[in-house]
Amino acid sequence: NAGVTQTPKFRVLKTGQSMTLLCAQDMNHEYMYWYRQDPGMGLRLIHYSVGEGTTAKGEVPDGYNVSRLKKQNFLLGLESAAPSQTSVYFCASSYLVLADEQFFGPGTRLTVL
Amino acid sequence: AQSVSQHNHHVILSEAASLELGCNYSYGGTVNLFWYVQYPGQHLQLLLKYFSGDPLVKGIKGFEAEFIKSKFSFNLRKPSVQWSDTAEYFCAVFSGGYNKLIFGAGTRLAVHP
């Protein structure tokens, strides 16, 4: 039981490049989330999904897109990376509802030059 | 706007000292409350949670937290810290009225032997 996994762990991009971060969970959770963590600001929700085929905007969605084609996977895309998107990105999942305990992945450290 | 405040950004203690980390939130109504911990190089994991019932909640590794509704607070405590408690601690509050989970900015705790 791997829990929540994320790939890649580290990535450096140039401004304007695109990339996709992959999150996978093997706990059969309905809800999945993408957060970014910036110094002094805690975690901020980018997008989330309440089930396969659904997505919704969080607190800071601009510049990101997501897809949930399979229940166990949640992809975060950056179409045209900007230096302001330099951050640590965490994926999380929860069993049933937004109010439940969330299980986090190990994070992806992204630097945009 | 909804917010979660963690008063101390950095705390330095010696082993065996007592710990109290403050957390205050700005919502009224029903809330679910969480403390998460992020050990160096690891992902966030749940320390304890409060949904209802006894306002004094016990978590893993000797941590506890007290929900004081009148003060909108959920402070984390440990009577005697260890070097292994060195980590970053995040308070998170889910408000049913706003259907949002908001994280505080985090408190970095360093425990010196």
> Under an 8 A CB cutoff, do A98 and B34 touch?
no
Task: Using the predicted structure, report yes or no on whether residue B1 has a pLDDT greater than 70.
Answer: no
What is the band of A21 on the pLDDT scale with cuts at 50, 70, 90? very high
| Whole-number Å distance between alpha carbons of A71 and A75 | 11
Measured between beta carbons, which residues in chain B are less than 8 angstroms from residue A105?
43
| Whole-number Å distance between alpha carbons of A90 and A110 | 11
For A83-94, what is the mean pLDDT? 96
Q: What is the pLDDT of residue B3?
A: 87
Closest chain B CA to residue A104? B44
Phi, psi of B94 (to 5 degrees): -105, 125
By Cβ distance, the residue of B96, B100, B103 closest to A43 is: B103
User: Which long-range CB contacts under 8 A does B2-7 form with residues at least 24 apart?
Assistant: B2/B26, B2/B27, B2/B93, B2/B95, B2/B98, B2/B100, B2/B102, B3/B102, B4/A42, B4/B91, B4/B92, B4/B93, B4/B102, B4/B103, B4/B104, B5/B104, B6/B89, B6/B90, B6/B91, B6/B104, B6/B105, B6/B106, B6/B107
> Under an 8 A CB cutoff, do B4 and A106 touch?
no
pLDDT digits (tens, 9 = 90+) for B38-68: 999 888 999 999 999 999 999 999 999 999 9
d(CA A37, nearest CA chain B) in Å: 9
d(CA A15, nearest CA chain B) in Å: 27
Mutation for B interface: A43, A100, A103, A109, most B CBs within 10 A: A43
Q: Which residues contact A62 (CB under 8 A, 6 or more apart)?
A: none
Of residues A17, A34, A2, the one with CA closest to residue A113: A17
pLDDT digits (tens, 9 = 90+) for B80-107: 999 999 999 999 999 877 777 899 999 9
Instruction: Give the mean pLDDT of chain A.
Output: 94
pLDDT digits (tens, 9 = 90+) for A37-86: 998 888 999 999 999 999 999 989 999 999 999 999 999 999 999 999 99
**Residue B38 vs residue A2, higher pLDDT:** B38
By Cβ distance, the residue of B46, B100, B103 closest to A101 is: B46
